[in-house]
C-alpha cells in the first residue's frame, strides 16, 4: 500500500510490476469482497492481489528509476554523508 521505500525499489529493480494502492481504495475493496472485517496478512494479500487482477486499470503502476536517476541518488547520498 505504498509507492516508495526499499522494498518497492527492490521489486521494481528486479523487474516486477509494482502498483501503488491507496489504503482507502484497499479498504473499500475489502468491503466489496465481503470480508468479515477481521484483518490478517493473508486476507490483505488476497484482497490486494484480487484488486490488481480486477481493477488494474484504476491503479498506478510504479516505474523503476532509470540508471541516471540511480546515479544521481548515489551522488546525493555521498554528498550528504560528506556534509555530515
Residue range 3-14, pLDDT digits in tens: 778 888 888 888
Tell me the pLDDT tens digit for each residue of 20-51. 888 888 888 888 877 666 677 888 888 888 88
The count of other CB atoms within 10 Å of the CB of residue 67 is: 8
Give the start-to-end residue ranges of the domains of the chain: 6-83
Q: What is the mean pLDDT of the chain?
A: 83
pTM listed for this prediction? 0.58
Residue 35 CB-density burial (10 A; 0-12 exposed, 13-18 middle, 19+ buried): middle
Q: How confident is the model at residue 82 (pLDDT cuts 50, 70, 90)?
A: very high
Amino acid at each position: 500500500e505504498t509507492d516508495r521505500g526499499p522494498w518497492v525499489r527492490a521489486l521494481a529493480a528486479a523487474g516486477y510490476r509494482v502498483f501503488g494502492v491507496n489504503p482507502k481504495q484497499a479498504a473499500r475493496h475489502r468491503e466489496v469482497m465481503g470480508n468479515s472485517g477481521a484483518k490478517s496478512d493473508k486476507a490483505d494479500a488476497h484482497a490486494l492481489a484480487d484488486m490488481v487482477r480486477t481493477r488494474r486499470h484504476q491503479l498506478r503502476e510504479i516505474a523503476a528509476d532509470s540508471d541516471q536517476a540511480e546515479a544521481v541518488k548515489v551522488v546525493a547520498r555521498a554528498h550528504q554523508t560528506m556534509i555530515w
